[in-house]
Structure 1
Amino acid sequence: MKTLQSVEQFETIKAQGKTVFVFSAGWCPDCRFIEPFMPALETKFNDFEFVLVDRDQFIDLCIELDIFGIPSFIAYKDGQETGRFVSKDRKTQQEIEEFLLAQ
């Protein structure tokens, strides 16, 4: 999974194709919970580009996007938000798959 390097890169990536931004942080236990199955989801949903966003590094972007719980997901297609799975709750593989299928 690619890691976001700048807000400018966020704007560029979201404008092209189908992208899922995965908001996370190193200290987040629920974020560590999803790590083992994320590679399988990336393979299964390979029509999306998955981009990891470090919540602590991009706190202003998270505030702008109303990301107050992690892990959270926002999907874009050609610059338009198509859906979000944003909450403070732990996410299961099935819940993430259902979110991706709806995009």
Structure 2
Amino acid sequence: MGQCWTRVECSIARTFKWIKPYSGFCKRPYKRRHVIGGKVCHINKLESWEEKLTEAKQDGKIAVVKFSASWCKPCKEIATPYRELADKYSSLVFLAVDVDEMAELSSSWEIKATPTFYFIRSGQPMDKLVGANKSELQKKIATIVDLASKM
């Protein structure tokens, strides 16, 4: 019997490393979690979702929510620009929801494609963006920040 080796990208150093997830036959695929960093809060429980939206509402902030999947290549490509935007705009709350982990929440927000970005104020959606278009995401966030500063 051989051993399974998986090539995994290390998101910190942007290098590839070979790891041995387990020995023997691969009876299940190796699942690598996408690391969320910076000021992006990963939501994996309904209580966390409600808590973060309540905090944003109390602070008068707009929440930017990225609904994505760990297997989705466009989601992985937009992850770094999303983290950079979170670091740049501290006046917003940035959240990330994995549609597979939070299937019930995702279906209640009618997520049909990944990534999908929602802009939420006071618990209500203001705007929505579907797809991993970096420039469009930057424009929408800049517009929302400008709109929020005028209110």
Q: Aligned pair count?
A: 100
Which structure 2 residues correspond to residues 63-102 of structure 1 after superposition, within 5 A?
Answer: 63-85=107-129, 87=130, 89=131, 91-102=132-143
Letter of the structure 2 residue corresponding to residue 6 of structure 1: K
Displacement over 3 Å in runs of 4+: none
Matches within 5 A, 1:13-92: 13-17=52-56, 18-85=62-129, 87=130, 89=131, 91-92=132-133
CA gap 1:81/1:16 in 2 versus in 1, 3 angstroms: farther
> TM-score normalized by structure 2?
0.60
Q: State, as a whole percentage, how many aligned pairs show the same letter.
A: 23
User: Any stretches of 5+ residues in structure 2 without a counterpart?
Assistant: 1-39, 57-61, 145-151
> Once the two structures are superposed, what CA deviation does each residue of 1:43-81 show, in whole Å capped at 9, x if it has no partner?
222211111101101111111111111111111123222
TM-score where L is the length of structure 1: 0.84
In terms of Rg, which structure is larger?
2
Indicate the RMSD between aligned Cα atoms, in angstroms: 1.5
Deviation, 1:36, is: 2.5
